[in-house]
Amino acid sequence: MKGRVNVALLVGAVLVALVGLAAVVSFFWTPHDPTLVDAARKLREPGGGYLLGADKFGRDTFSQLMVGARTTLYVGIVAVGIAAVLGVPLGMVAGMTPRGWLSELIMRVNDLVFAFPALLLAVMLGAVYGAGTLTAMIAIGVATVPAFARVTRAATLQVMVTDYILAARAAGRRRPAIAVRHVLPNISSMLIVQASVSFAIAILAEAALSFLGFGTRPPTPSWGRMLQESQELLFSTPRLALWPGLAIALAVLGFNLLGDGLRDYLDPRLRRIREQAEPPANGATR
């Protein structure tokens, strides 16, 4: 690969960095207060300090997009965190004892959770406890566990047949020690790739949930709800749908490309494992 630029990695990293930058800067500065309702600025055209104009409540679109990036990253980080913390250990146990009853149980439960997509979990949680950022994060996180567990299991199975694991076992190392010292470091690049791809799916899911009113509550800005609010004004002010739509698509594209690029960069052999183990990454919900 020497001398060849990894285009996917480069473009992906730039897009993700942009989203990250917008989110970080929004903590300290936004052009205007993103939640400030002002009838005088209602549907204000872009220009004069309002780079992208204002919405039907007079809220500055650009400021809303910046804080929306924060919401998106927040939900993504927590959801992927939940999925990794639960899915990786389960996948490792299943991969290290492939013929045990525990492994069988884990994979069966995994299949069952797989039948509950993020959207259904979020609706169930929302119906019972009231919808919000927390229920959305939990729903997306839990729904992503099976993907992590499957990928981890597939990668662990491959690592377990290598000579260094054989050597460690011959030297009398116990299973937990092997898991932490030998398996985890060797599947970590795989997991980084998975995290990036899962992040993209989490962004899609968060946007869909906010769009339906099962995500972040108003007034906290979120890209999905900006889209939902813009829909009725599509005939008169389509730009209100354009910007959040573009933000969602570019953020998802960024994390997908970053995942692809990292895979090629870290280890080209990984491509096969992931494609075998992972269900297709997409949909409005996962």
Residues that bind other proteins (CB under 8 A): 108, 111-112, 114-117, 119-120, 123-124, 126-128, 200, 204, 207-208, 211-212, 227, 230-231, 234-235, 238, 241, 245, 248-250, 252-253, 256-257, 275, 279-286
Q: Which of 150, 182 has the CB closer to other proteins?
A: 150
Q: Which of 24, 246 has the CB closer to other proteins?
A: 246
Q: What is the DSSP letter of 236?
A: T
Nearest approach in angstroms of CB 211 to other proteins is 6
Nearest approach in angstroms of CB 254 to other proteins is 8
Q: Which of 55, 96 has the CB closer to other proteins?
A: 55
Q: Which of 78, 119 has the CB closer to other proteins?
A: 119
Spatial contact of 41 and 58, defined as CB atoms under 8 Å apart: yes
Annotate 111-144 with DSSP letters as a single string: HHHHTS-HHHHHHHHHHHH--SHHHHHHHHHHHH
Nearest approach in angstroms of CB 281 to other proteins is 7
Tokens at residue 74, please? 């927040």
Q: Which long-range CB contacts under 8 A does 174-181 form with residues at least 24 apart?
A: 175/96, 178/96, 179/92, 179/96
Q: Which of 96, 204 has the CB closer to other proteins?
A: 204
Q: Which of 160, 243 has the CB closer to other proteins?
A: 243
Nearest approach in angstroms of CB 283 to other proteins is 3
Token pair 């047949």 is at which residue? 161
Spatial contact of 210 and 225, defined as CB atoms under 8 Å apart: yes
Tokens at residue 270, please? 């990984």
Nearest approach in angstroms of CB 120 to other proteins is 6
Nearest approach in angstroms of CB 235 to other proteins is 5
Residue 104: strand, helix, or coil: helix
Closest listed residue to residue 250, CA positions, set 33, 82, 68, 63: 68
Q: Cα–Cα distance between 44 and 32 in angstroms, integer? A: 13
